[in-house]
Structure 1
Amino acid sequence: MVATANYDAVIIGGGHNGLVCGAYLAKAGKKVLVLERRDILGGASATEEIWPGYKVNTAAHMLSLMQPKIVLDLELQKFGYEAVPVPPGVHLVEGVGPVVLWKEQERLCAEFARFSKRDAEAYPKFQAHLARMAPIFRRLLWQVPIDPSDMSPRNLLRLAGLGWRNRDALPVFHDLMDLVSMSVHDYVARWFDSEEVRIIVGYYPAGAAGQSTSIHTPGTAYLLLRNHMRDGSNPAGGTGLSRGGMGTIPTAIAASGARFGLETRTGAEVEEVIVENGRAVGVRMVGGEVIRARAVISNASSQHLFADLVPKSAAPEDFRRAVTGIHGTVTNFKIHLAVEKPIPFAGLKEAGYGDRYPVQVTLAPSLSYVEKAYADMRSGRISERPYMTVQTPTLADRTLAPEGKHIISIYGGHFPAGAGSDQTAAAREQLFERVMDTIALHAPDFDRHWLHRQIMLPSDYEEIFRLPGGSPHHGDLTFDQLFFRRPVRGYADYTTPVQGLFLCGASAHPGGGVTGVPGFNAARVVQRSL
């Protein structure tokens, strides 16, 4: 074995959360090394040149939740971080065609009035209702969860402090409980009468949140808060696309951290976490190299960490069983195409979009359509008519493809996943043809011509990114796997049963999405331990 220099902290996984954690620790004066198994930093927020000249966001594709505090603290804009605003999206609605999702609320309400005057009047009240509760959820993002079953005096004081800091939640307690327990279908049905408005408002929690859920799945309503979880009224900029691809976010974080001595290595696969006398003291690399550290921090999923990297004897059996029991197999797919021109969806000009192509089109015509796609999957079949979000990022960022060419990224559902599901080339081809057929129904002039393609299934995300079940969240963001119970009860504070071993990725609170918050919170906890 060859031992390298000692570090204060070694981080397994160079995704954005691992880099955020490392950058903050380095900024605090700690000697930190980030190890990334793949040859590129970023994890699921990487941008890859999978065809010459085409920069593709193979997994995460929207800059919508990256927290301004982290952007400003780490001065990421100095290192290439830039949000590219996108024009209004379009939702294709059954029997109507394109509905433009204008960013101006008055114009959007005018669209909704076509379906229901009452819904148009209710929409501003609905958004105000969410905005009233959003600050409570935003504040909880930054709080290290406390174990409510710990009756020690110290923990009781911390619980009291948590309650006091969040006392403004009491007047809206029942509304908060509705959000975290109700299905998105039932929640939006309280506010809106028309099916058209319900599917437009409820689409993201039902189909686009990186989980395998029905629109009737309990605990999906709180995902309606997504557009309220980031304050865009600050120098960090707004939301949209990341200029140059999502991969510019992790590279900016790494560059920022490098000012303070943060080291990163790619093509560096960890074989084992070294545990001595119940404490993590470093890692052993594939090839035998040993790197010792006072703290070992995992951006990899807790499932991968404890199944493959931590010696079986180092963690209690009941903890291992709890980690194994985390649920989160997804059934979403992504298809990336290199094309010569965007998809010419019908009716855009008549809908008021003019001669432009929209960057993002949602193809989820009705509630029953989305539910049928889910039911097909539950019966073990590829959705006959998949719902999908069709994004053409090159319309807003020409740096992503060669001159005169475009990238189309299609995110949709569902493709059956898990044990026994058909993952053959023939099944992939069937999925592709169904996606193309479905698009053609809404774009009769679509020539279906493509130059390159990539079909990504949940099994691919598990194999390439080590995402358990293909889940970008490392486990569903459901009520039983949130806050006090993420990843498992008793260990929601970024620690593990192994002393000196911490979590900093999507397995920990508040979960997946490109926010940087798990990395930030973990850095606070680790710093206190060093």
Structure 2
Amino acid sequence: MSTSYDAIVIGAGHNGLISANYLARAGKKVVVLEARDVVGGACTTEELIPGAKWSSCAFIQGLLRPEIITELELAKYGLEMYQTEAMEVVIFDDASHMFMWKDMDRTLKELEKFSKTDAKAYLDFGVRIKKFAQIITPFLMKPPTSRSEVLAAFEAEGAEDLFDEFVLSSTKDLLDRYFHSEHIKGLFTFFGMISVWGGPSTPGTGYVYGHHSVGEFEGHLGQWGLVKGGMGGITLAMTRAAEAHGAVVRTGAPVQQVLVSGTKVTGVRLKSGEEILAPVVLSNADPARSILQLLPKGTVKPSIEKAVQQYDNRGSMARIHLLVDELPEYIGFPAGQGPQHEAQAIMGASVENFERAWEAQRRGELPEDFVIEAMIQSVTDPGLAPEGKHTLTLGVQQLPFELKGTTWDEMRDKFADAVLQVLFRYAPNLRDHILDRVVITPLDLERDYGLTGGNIFHGAMFLDQLFGSRPAPELADYRTPVTGYYLCGSGTHPGGGVMGANGHNAAKVVLDDMHHPAGRTPAAAQARPAVTGRTPVTDRFMSAVMGTKWGRELGYRVARQPALRKVVKIFTRSGV
């Protein structure tokens, strides 16, 4: 017995759910098939320890495109986001610390503690990031164009140096151009090291930094927030929105194989043996799973199989979720709850620590020291933990997927113990206040969350795997050689993170093919974002002012004034 639909979506991660939403809103009969018992993929909330819930993988919202939030009416279907005053706090070995606040004046005063020169440079850096975002953002919500056209957009704006800095350079070279303080560079380096196979000096890691810098929260670039109930609040709202428009979302329904007749897709077969038919199938899985595992062997040409096999999935990370009965008392802070418990805390961030982590990663080993990120969302969202307890999430980047001479299953507890020993250097009181823990290793990310190589981005985010080459030129427009079979996951343009543009773009291509089956337009030909001459007036004014010595000094004095926060926020808004 089989059931028929207009379209099947494999995987209820955020991109799959977004595709399903747009197809359902277009009147298509859609079913989403999720292997796990919970929706969300790596954007989910789970009760990992009885009575307490965590964002298992992703835990910060700053990349999800505002167009998608609006068009899918996610607030109507339960999405609730909020922001803390302190966004980050970096804690150093010498017990000093530095906050990154929501308000610019407070952040500048924090940076001044380490370097007044760097605090002034931070404004110029922000102007440059905003210019980069204005050029790159028009490419995000459209099918990919060629890398040469992206470069041409920068050239048209007279900003080739921005392309060099934020696309081609290493994170170290990028930050060295603006900052001198090792403390400040240590904090910012973290954002270029997320799920990478490399270190600060690795060319191309500047784009990992740039990719995260184009994120925004409530219209303000470079800011992020949290989701009430954890990141699963995003995908639960997407699920409700899809179901409200007629889509069916099934969990516990792992797909064994995509069914193909000749050169056309006909549906899928579940591991249970059930067959579901449809002339369109979208895979939210990564490219390796979508092409090499889900399709029958020999379906695509050997050259495409080879391209997918050579697609770089290296670069992983781990999460350690702790249930604690006391908040960490971080070194250098007074006792008691404070903004350090609401912010994303980063401990041990230094360029050298990141470089040493890369050397260990390259050898298939664990580093002797760890840079740790930490989030305690239960402080601002008490419903996540039982009364008197808190959910503490730790993250470690730059980990190898394959360990030399051992396995992650064998090293799970040793790794977690080693990370906790580092944590205790910064929060000694926690040594006696950890009630339970759950460790998610790179192997778990592949085995339990379906991420090949444990790469949360579905593949490395370097230029050779971006735009019209993600995941390969033959697959870059979301279509595959099998008619009716599409890719919609993070392994497609514009890349990873909880951005959602991939699912949006893939759905638009599918709908275009459905409506024009005889002469479908290559997706690359649709992507011609016009950027020349469209720089907003406020940004032209800011660039002109910040281009002079007196202007930079004036801008710095204005940005430092709490009374002028509303004025400063005008200039930090995206598209303004």
**Fold equivalence (TM over 0.5):** yes
2:104 alignment partner AA: Q
For residues 77-476 of structure 1, what are the structure 2 equivalents within 5 Å? 77-88=75-86, 89-95=88-94, 97-146=96-145, 166=153, 169-206=156-193, 209-226=194-211, 228-233=213-218, 239-349=224-334, 357-418=341-402, 420=404, 422-423=406-407, 426-476=410-460
* Cα distance between partner residues in 1 of 2:358 and 2:390: 30
More displaced 10-residue stretch of structure 1: 410-419 or 468-477: 410-419
Find the residue that maps to 1:494 and give its secondary structure.
coil
CA gap of 1:169–1:44, structure 2 versus 1, over 3 A, is farther
CA contact (8 A) 2:327 2:337 kept: no
CA distance in 1, matches of 2:147, 2:316: 33
Secondary structure of 1:17's aligned partner:
helix
The range that moved more, 197-206 or 88-97, is 88-97
Secondary structure at 2:285 match in 1: coil
Distance apart, 1:212 and its partner CA: 3.0
> Which secondary structure does the structure 2 equivalent of 1:484 belong to?
helix
> Aligned partners of 2:107 and 2:48: how far apart in 1?
38
Q: CA deviation at 1:358?
A: 3.7
Measured against aligned partners, the alpha-carbon deviations of 1:57-79 in whole angstroms (never above 9, x if no partner) come to: 11111111111111111111111
| Distance in 1 between residues matched to 2:330 and 2:147, nearest whole Å | 52
| 1:482 paired residue number | 466
CA contact (8 A) 1:306 1:312 kept: no
In 1: Cα distance, 2:76 partner to 2:99 partner: 35
1:40-93 CA deviation, whole Å, 9 max, x = no partner? 111111111122211111111111111111111111111110112123121013
2:498 matched residue in structure 1: 514
- Distance in 2, matches of 1:433 and 1:471, equals 23
Q: Aligned to 1:361, what secondary structure does the other structure show?
A: strand
Secondary structure of 2:276's partner?
strand
Tell me if 1:17 matches 2:15. yes
**Once structures 1 and 2 are overlaid, which stretch shifts more, 88-97 or 397-406?**
88-97
1:168 to partner: Cα distance: 7.6
Look up the equivalent residue of 1:306 and give its one-letter code: I
CA distance in 2, matches of 1:395, 1:7: 44
CA distance in 2, matches of 1:486, 1:368: 31
Matched length: 511
CA contact under 8 A between 1:349 and 1:355: conserved in structure 2? no
| Secondary structure, aligned partner of 2:280 | strand
RMSD: 2.3
Structure 2 counterpart of 1:289, one-letter code: E
Contact kept? 2:195, 2:398, Cα under 8 Å: no
Q: Which moved more, 1:41-50 or 1:328-337?
A: 328-337
User: Hey, what does 2:61 align to over in structure 1?
Assistant: 63
Q: Deviations over 1:8-29 (max 9, x none)?
A: 1111111111010000010011
Partner Cα distance (1:340, 1:394) in 2: 12
SS of 1:78's equivalent in the other structure is: coil
TM-score, scaled to structure 2: 0.84
Question: CA offset at residue 417 of structure 1?
Answer: 2.1
Does the residue aligned with 2:130 lie in a helix, a strand or coil?
helix
Could you report, residue by residue, the CA deviation over 1:191-237 in whole angstroms, capped at 9, with x for unpaired residues? 1112112112222112xx222320111111133335642443459xx
> Do the aligned partners of 1:147 and 1:492 also contact (CA within 8 Å) in 2?
no
Question: Which letter maps to 2:15?
Answer: N
> Quick one: which amino acid aligns to residue 341 of structure 2?
Y
Q: CA separation in 2, counterparts of 1:380 and 1:57?
A: 28
Query: Secondary structure of 1:523's match?
Result: helix
Q: Structure 2: 5+ residue runs without aligned partners?
A: 515-576
Conservation of the 8 A alpha-carbon contact between 2:408 and 2:442: no
In the other structure, the counterpart of 2:28 is 30
What secondary structure sits across from 1:129 in the alignment?
Answer: helix
SS at match of 1:45: coil
Secondary structure of 1:273 counterpart: strand
**Residues 122 and 33 of structure 1: CA distance in aligned 2, closer, same or farther (over 3 Å):** same
Residues 372 and 170 of structure 1: CA distance in aligned 2, closer, same or farther (over 3 Å): same
SS of the residue aligned with 2:39?
coil
Query: What's 1:155 paired with?
Result: none
TM-fit CA distance, 1:175 = 1.8
Deviates more, 1:505-514 or 1:88-97: 88-97
Unaligned runs of 5+ in 1: 150-158
* Compared CA separation, residues 344 and 139, structure 1 to 2 (3 A): same
